[in-house]
Structure 1
Amino acid sequence: MPHDIIGWTHTIFAIIALITGSLILINPKGSLFHIRTGTIYVISMIIVCASAFLIYRVHKTFGILHFFAIISTATLIMGMTPMYIKNFKQPIVSHLSWMYWSVIGLYCAFAAELFTRLPIILNIKNNYGVFYLVVGLSTGIVGMTGSWFFKKKKSYWEVKFRKPQNKLNDN
């Protein structure tokens, strides 16, 4: 439960990112809706990642969830880079792939955050083994499910968004 303005900011923008990220996953790519919703997602995720590092500063501990904030930030940067630097072999597929994993990572973080509350609900005190087990299992299940969907989607994207080959003119 958030205890201060940083925690509330983190929570509110994480919810916005969950909603917009989900909308992007289920709707057609490349539309004006996709671009606008994606912009909200990216801004929300920047705030989520930044606030995660600020939470680290407040609590003076760097845990596994903060480590994943670094991965989340990198995934977001890698997802947006192909949209601005066109030197990629398949810029749209790269964008879709990295942004897909950004959303799946957010789902993993959400599952981990929910299930870290389980030891509190079950009144298990000071048991880091249960904490890491629950975080690992919830994140693993969500990540594996996301991986299954990703494999199906990536094959489709590679065909649909294939970058045209440059052909030399024989004249």
Structure 2
Amino acid sequence: MSKFTKMSLLLGIIVAFIALVLLYLKKTEAKPLIEIPMHLSAYDKKTGNVENLSANQASKAFGVLQFFSKPNSKNMSQSILCVQDHQIVDKIDLYMPDMGHGSQPPTIEKIEMPSNIRSKASSEIQLGCFKLDNMQLFMTGDWQIRVFYQNGNLGLFDLKIIE
């Protein structure tokens, strides 16, 4: 066996090994523990009032919030938030509607769309994704992750913290 043949064989084995590792990693991609859909409302900046939109208007928005570990009141939470019209997101905050207060805003970082969300989105919908870190959901009860849009719309993700 020539030196060239041996090198080609060794290179082929290395490439096959790398392909198997990549295939394994793709199959073991983390799946979300909790996934929450968005519902859309209208927000009046002057009064702070939130109004429900008609079913037709609300159905035109898509958003999903994913947690990979169970959020609780004892630890900082982290999630991935993907929404339609991400270019006009003004701010994202955490709010307890029953208590009338929120908490410190999460740290927000724009990220690439994860493959588990890309497979759910249609090609007509342009989604953008954000990683939300340091989510201080410090009390048990009902929380909302609120996405404020520059056009006056408000995306709401409802979440119950039970411990």
Q: Is the structural similarity TM-score above 0.5?
A: no
Q: TM-score range by the shorter chain?
A: under 0.3
Per the normalisation by structure 2, the TM-score is 0.23
Greater strand proportion: 2
Per the normalisation by structure 1, the TM-score is 0.22
Bigger radius of gyration, 1 or 2?
2
Greater helix proportion: 1
